[in-house]
Structure 1
Amino acid sequence: MKYDLLTESWIPALDLQGHTKEYSVTSLLDAAPKLQRIVHEKPLVVASVQRLLLAILYRSYGYLGQDDWDEVFEAGEFGEPVSNYLNSPECIDRFDLFSEACPFFQTANFTKEKGVTTSVKKLSPDLASGNNKTLFNHIADNHEFSLSAKEAALQLLVCQYFSLGGGVSGSSVQFGKHPNLTNSPLVGGAVVMVEGENLFQTLMLNLHMPKDEEWLDRKVDLPVWEQNEPEKPEAREMRGLTDYLTWRARHVRLLPEKDGTVARMFFAQGLPNPKEMEQEPYFAYRLNKDDKILPVRLSFERACWRDTANLLQYARSTKVGIEPQDLRPAGIQLLAAEDNELIDKLKLNCQLIGLDNNKANPLCWFEERLPLAINLIEKDREQKNKFSAHLLKGLETAEAIHRQLMSAVRTFASHLLPDGARAQDVTTKVESINPARFYWPKLNEPFEQFVWALSHNSEEAKSNWRKVCQEIAFAAFEGATQSWCYGGVRAQKGLSIAKQQLEESLYGRTWQRHVYWSQDTQEIIKQLYHWGSPEYPRRDILAVLRKSLDLQKNSQLAAISYLGPLLANEDERSEVQAFVAALFASHPKVYQQSQHLSFGAVWYQADKDQRPGMSFRFECLLEAKGEQLKQTLRQMVQILKSKDIAVDYRTLMEDLYYWDSDDKRIQLKWARDYWAKPNQSTEPSDSAAATN
């Protein structure tokens, strides 16, 4: 049985018209200028195929100097070196997936002791096998499972590049006992590829490796398909870059069925990763606070764009006297070294693919794309690029605002717990609220706009970016704490204090939203102020209105005789209007200020020291409903009267319209204005506190 990867169609790719088609290795490289990119539902397959193609190109061209690279890139297609190599004896019959003598990327005649075979599910980390956690696939080991030849070829590449370590490998007839499984070369970081406008450009833009004269002099640097001798599963020296790009991390031999599918295989540990390759060329690295070099990883907890500076800039230590290091991936290093007008005109992206894992268990895979502006890439090791400096400042802004958000949520969380709660308990509560889930994901699209805007107007881009981060942080706080508005007075108090803390840290002031007073409210209040005018008070009318607080039908009917033409048609709304009119009659001190003042702010004026008795009365008010609400307000207005403090009856009337709203917005606003010690607004007289 034969399945030649050079001629069989097995690699899915998207053409420039948006159609997906499968290609062989040869036809894919021929058609590369007409294709957008390699596509597959599993991102690890995409990264694995790209790595295979780069190995073929390195073997075909060798190490390209800058002039040679420019010549190939400007030609717009792969030339004779590639086709000649693929048609050479080194490749013919070496890409046959099921060859007995030289199976592609496998070990010929490899057999486990006692003929123990393994399911092909072991090829890919997303397929549950043995005692692996079932995360992506729910097919049990005792169920029949097989792969087509083309899918087996794709998953074989994934196995060699992304297999996770951990577990016993067993013994084989050829090599005896194998070491325990170790991670393959691409585990532990994010594979970063510069994406051009077609597949040819993408491969060429990543065809750059740090040159090592020792490697150049070696004549034994061969890809895995040219290596003849079977290798023991023990550490050996890396022979060169093509050797490393096709590193045999696992000893595998696929066992095809008669119909060409593959269900079982022989599988064991191969070569451990070479010590010479301390840094994977297609990973991006960063320096931690101790100047230790660590790979940039993809994970749920951290959006990949937050590491953009590590992709584009030199790594600089915080310690004095240490030279900047170039820890960027190969494609970015190529762009930093190249001075080609054709590249400057391209619209480029960064593709990041990675596998997040916990020890030997896969958690998820990622495929992310980031915008890539050429002028953001640092080319001078000694002097920072001004655009990249602006980018770094923008990233720091997002991080700083996130810290302000977390600080406010921590303040809120501390009010949810009993007094004197341990710091660890507060931290646990903050983690359960998790405002970051409402913050970082919302910044993905704005960040892309920020990157493109930086190259045109840096100052405006930075200003807009800060505003977006502030708005999203505030929305994230509200989204994360929304359900807590039903949590009683303690939660409302915590919300009010934490929200003001966030507003002041974001904007340097208390930020308040406003709406207009409704027309019927203004007409009633205007009439009440006329009746309560100190110069010509209508004491007879005020007495009738005041008497309606007794909640007796006759007294209420008498009040309606004066208010009737002004009251709204809706029963609930007119009831609020009549009640507030009666409150005014009991304390007819006219509120003279133009800005709004909620009842919480008024009560704060009466109780700036927040004495226990006054605070308790206010807490009871926030939880009151119906007749209890009216009775409590009546008593509190009398206390305000004794202190000669005016009530903003317009705002009170508007707020009471929405007192029974499900989101408790009025209670939260009053709590905030009382406990958070509000700043008064300077809005014009036709606006009031937010009730919508």
Structure 2
Amino acid sequence: MGPDGDLVRGGWLPTVEVNGGRCAEGLLGVLHRAHEVRRLELPVPVMLPAVLRQTLLPVVMDALGAPRTPQEWADRFERGRFTPEELERLEDYLGPRFGDRFRLFDSERPFAQVAGLTAVSGETKSSTLLVPYIASGNNVPLFSTLSEADALDLTLAQAALWLLHAQCWDTAAIKTGAQGDPKVAKGKTTGNPTGPLGQLGVIVPTGRTLYETLLLNAPILPDGLHPGDRPQWDTAEPATPQWSSRPARGLLDLMTFQSRRIRLLPHETENGVRVRQVVICAGDRLERTAQEELHTAWNHTAKPKAGQSPQRPRRHTSGRAAWQGLAALLAFTLPADGNGPTTSLLLRQIGDLRAEGYLADDYPLGIETCGLEYGNQSAVVENAIADNIPLPVAALVTQDTDLREAILECVAQADQVARALDRLHTELRRSAGGEALPRDKGERPGQRLLHAVDDRMRRLLAGLRHVEGDLDLLERGREAWELTLWQAAHREADQLLAATPPRAVIGRVIKENNKETMHRSGRAEAWFRTALREALPRAAEARQTTGTAA
């Protein structure tokens, strides 16, 4: 990448090609070869939605328009690549029209930044402030090898990626006050929320190529984009230190929302231009999460509090694989009381496209989930959540309940067996004279079980793509899953029983709520095996048929 930080032609997007090769491309290059690119190879998983939303997707949608009908979407998808005419429009968009708006160090309109941005104090901060996984200020990761005092020389490609990351995921709370911002008090700006994606449990559907991924993330808009909806680089005036609280004006505005005012400072080194110092100040604040948000599932409340929307973004839970949250991803109808999860707009759209015959049952759809967990008033990053799973397209069809119900039952069974193991563990501890583990302490056998069967669940989901209405095949898959759970649960239970001291056989009486209860290892084991048979009826029947002891 040249010293001006040209994102159109400079190689800043690392890619993995369909044939396994690796290279770095600029925006124009990666779009030209989108049908040959398998995926972007980014430093951290949470960077994928940042790059998609802040650059690739809005460029394509603004230059080519959003598909207006399912047939138009299907025609684009079936071609598998941009047409020569579409590439000409993209070249014009990233050339004569807006090419100069995609330079990191443009003197008037640096990309996603404010030209000449200066802190009230006149100070600059280390570029570590862009990277939340490195110690900086109050954000001190446990295993960071650098501190705020250390210099971090970011290449221009790295700086561009972390710039987009900051616009989407930056921490909240106090920010450096900027000269020219009338809302600065005592050199600082307070009350800043996290970046827009920090409010979401992000869900990104992915395809076989980057081209397909772009289309899977493109909404079908019968009326097209809103006339007043523009991406951040297409504004009448360049960004200034002043910011506002406002709703998104449309999808392009939402995806390229500038939640921070940032300035990257280039530094000449013996290895070329690097970014060592930055200025990061308060940026625009979303008044509310737009209901047209594409990349999240929702929690629906039938009777929200005054001033609250009935739909609020649903976040991912730390420590849980993405398949454990399939109940939310496959939620197309609300519970009887009107409260509960609903799936994302894009997953619902993919299901509709499958129902209309525009996607095949065996299409290898992938789901990337990611999110950040913040702590201490959202001013620090405590944990990053990321996973990817295969998902049968047919499970997204609202009219086809067999496959979806089978998948949800498999997920529920894993949860039931894990909870049964945890209860067995608790009962064995009580029988031996101990106490139940606190909810947030210690390793639990249920978690070990879920980890042990994780790979088999992913294989099951991939295999269910090929069911295509074959209920016998679906039933065999469910039985195989139950046998997997059965074997894994018995392995864990046997280890727990082997580690239980002999005094647990005699047990002890515990008085709870004026009631005496006998806790004995034999009783706990008998309850567990009964619970297992009830949770896994197919496996229990298969074991009985073959004469295998439980």
Q: TM-score range by the shorter chain?
A: 0.7 to 0.9
SS of residue paired to 1:367: strand
Whole-angstrom distance in 1 between the partners of 2:215 and 2:439? 50
Letter in 2 for 1:239: R
| Aligned with 2:209 (options 178, 193, 198) | 198
List per-residue Cα deviations over 1:384-442 (Å, max 9, x = no partner): 62221222222222222222222212211222436xxxxxx524289435112211112
Aligned-pair distance for 1:461?
A: 2.0
Tell me the SS of whatever aligns to 1:29: helix
Residues 177 and 282 in structure 2, CA contact (< 8 A), matched pair in contact too: no
What is the deviation of 1:96?
0.4
How far the C-alpha of 1:505 sits from its partner, in A, is 1.9
Query: CA offsets per residue over residues 87-143 of structure 1, 9 Å max, x none?
Result: 443312110011110100111221111212121111122121012122352201222
| Structure 1 residue 495: Cα displacement | 4.6
Where structure 1 has 5 or more consecutive residues not aligned to the other structure, the ranges are 419-424, 510-680
Shift, 1:287, TM fit: 4.8
Contact 1:234/1:272 (8 A) holds in 2: yes
SS in 2 for 1:197: coil
Partner SS, residue 323 of structure 2: helix
Q: Counterpart of 1:222 in structure 2: which amino acid?
A: R
For normalisation by structure 2, the TM-score amounts to 0.82
Offset, 1:325: 8.2
Q: Is 1:411 matched with 2:394?
A: no
Contact 2:263 / 2:278 at 8 angstroms: preserved in 1?
yes
Matched residues in 2 for 1:310 and 1:398: separation?
Answer: 16
In structure 2, relative to structure 1, the CA distance for the partners of 1:274 and 1:496 (3 Å cut) is same
Q: 2:165 aligns with which of 158, 170, 182?
A: 158
On the 8 A contact 1:205/1:335 being kept in 2, the answer is no
* Between 175-184 and 337-346, the greater mean CA deviation after superposition: 337-346
Q: Which amino acid aligns with 1:375?
A: A
> What is the one-letter code of the residue matched to 1:230?
A
Say whether 1:53 aligns with 2:56.
yes
Distance in 2 between residues matched to 1:325 and 1:491, nearest whole Å: 44
Matches within 5 A, 1:468-487: 468-479=484-495, 484-485=499-500, 487=501
Letter in structure 1 aligned against 2:157: K
Q: Whole-Å Cα distance in 1 between the matches of residues 372 and 169 of structure 2?
A: 8
* CA drift at 1:328: 1.9
Greater strand content: 2
Query: Is the 8 Å Cα contact of residues 299 and 342 (structure 2) preserved in structure 1?
Result: no
The match for 2:22 is 20
Amino acid at match of 2:343: L
Residue in 1 that maps onto 2:322: 304
Q: Counterpart of 2:409? A: 393
The residue aligned with 2:78 is 74
Tell me how far apart the structure 1 counterparts of residues 67 and 101 of structure 2 sit (CA, whole Å).
25
Q: 1:142 to 1:88 in 2, by over 3 A?
A: closer
Residues 323, 117 of structure 1: alpha-carbon distance in 2 compared, 3 angstrom cutoff: closer
Query: What letter corresponds to residue 489 of structure 1 in structure 2?
Result: R
Structure 1 residues 447 and 294: alpha-carbon distance in aligned structure 2, compared to 1, 3 A threshold: farther
Structure 1 CA distance for aligned equivalents of residues 133 and 322 of structure 2: 21
Q: How far did residue 147 of structure 1 move?
A: 0.6
Q: CA deviation at 1:304?
A: 1.5
User: 1:253, 1:267 within 8 Å by CA — same for their partners in 2?
Assistant: yes
Shift of the 189–467 alpha-carbon distance from structure 1 to 2, 3 Å rule, reads farther
For the 8 Å contact 1:235–1:273, the answer to whether it is kept is yes
Where do residues 100-499 of structure 1 align in structure 2 (5 Å cutoff)?
100-135=107-142, 137-166=144-173, 168-176=174-182, 177=184, 178-208=189-219, 216-218=225-227, 220-227=228-235, 228-230=237-239, 232-258=242-268, 259-275=272-288, 277-278=290-291, 280-287=293-300, 293=311, 295-319=313-337, 322=338, 327-337=343-353, 339-341=356-358, 343-344=360-361, 346-358=363-375, 359-380=378-399, 385-417=401-433, 426-428=436-438, 431-454=441-464, 455=467, 456=470, 457-479=473-495, 484-485=499-500, 487=501, 489-490=503-504, 495-499=521-525
Q: Distance in 2 between matches of 1:357 and 1:329?
A: 26
Q: Structure 2 CA distance, aligned partners of 1:491 and 1:121? A: 57
Distance change >3 Å, CA 119–CA 278, structure 1 → 2: farther
For 2:77 and 2:534, how far apart are their aligned partners in 1? 52
8 Å CA contact 2:350, 2:393 repeated in 1: no
* Offset, 1:269: 1.4
| 1:357 to 1:144, Cα distance in 2 relative to 1, 3 A | same
Distance 1:286 1:450 in 2: 27
| C-alpha separation in 2, matches of 1:95 and 1:314 | 39
In structure 2, relative to structure 1, the CA distance for the partners of 1:343 and 1:116 (3 Å cut) is farther
Q: Is the 8 A contact 2:334 2:340 kept in 1?
A: yes
Of residues 335-344 and 363-372 in structure 1, the stretch that sits farther from structure 2 once superposed is 335-344
Residues 453-488 of structure 1: CA distance to partner in whole angstroms, max 9, x if unpaired?
542422222222222222222323345666x44x56
In the TM superposition, what is the alpha-carbon distance from 1:156 to its structure 2 partner? 0.3
Bigger Rg, structure 1 or 2: 1
Mark the CA change 1:289 to 1:412 in structure 2 (over 3 Å): closer, same or farther. farther
CA distance in 2, matches of 1:325, 1:190: 12
Equivalence for 1:615: none
The amino acid of 1:7's aligned partner reads R
1:239-269, Cα deviation, whole Å (9 max, x unpaired): 2211111000110011101231011111111
Aligned length: 498
Structure 1 match to 2:514:
none
Question: Kindly, what percent of the aligned residue pairs are identical?
Answer: 22
Instruction: Give the secondary-structure state (helix, strand or coil) at the position aligned to 2:97.
Output: coil
1:86 Cα deviation after fit: 2.9
Tell me the C-alpha RMSD between the 2 structures: 3.2
Contact kept, 8 Å, 1:377 with 1:385, in 2: the verdict is no
Q: In 2, Cα distance between the equivalents of 1:290 and 1:435?
A: 38
Query: Is the 8 Å Cα contact of residues 257 and 284 (structure 2) preserved in structure 1?
Result: yes
Q: Separation in 1 of the partners of 2:439 and 2:263? A: 51
Deviations 1:538-561 (A, max 9, x none): xxxxxxxxxxxxxxxxxxxxxxxx
SS in 2 for 1:440: helix
Q: Does the CA-based 8 Å contact 2:126-2:151 persist in structure 1?
A: no
Residues 148, 261 of structure 1: 8 Å contact kept = yes
1:93 to 96, 100, 105: 100
Q: The residue matched to 1:297 in structure 2 has which SS? A: coil
Contact preservation (8 Å) 1:438, 1:480:
no
Maintained 8 Å contact 2:505/2:521:
yes
CA distance in 1, matches of 2:220, 2:125: 36
Q: Report if the CA contact (8 A) 2:351-2:397 is conserved.
A: no
Residue type at the aligned position of 2:175: S
Quick one: structure 1 residues 453 and 92, their matched pair in 2 at CA, closer, same or farther if it must change by over 3 Å? Answer: closer
Q: Give distance in 1, aligned partners of 2:94 and 2:443.
A: 60
**Secondary structure in 1 matching 2:24:** strand
Q: In structure 1, give the amino acid aligned to 2:321.
A: A
Answer whether contact 1:296 1:307 (CA < 8 A) is retained: no
SS at match of 2:281: strand
SS of 2:196's partner is: coil
1:8 corresponds, among 2, 7, 10, to 10
SS in 2 for 1:186: helix
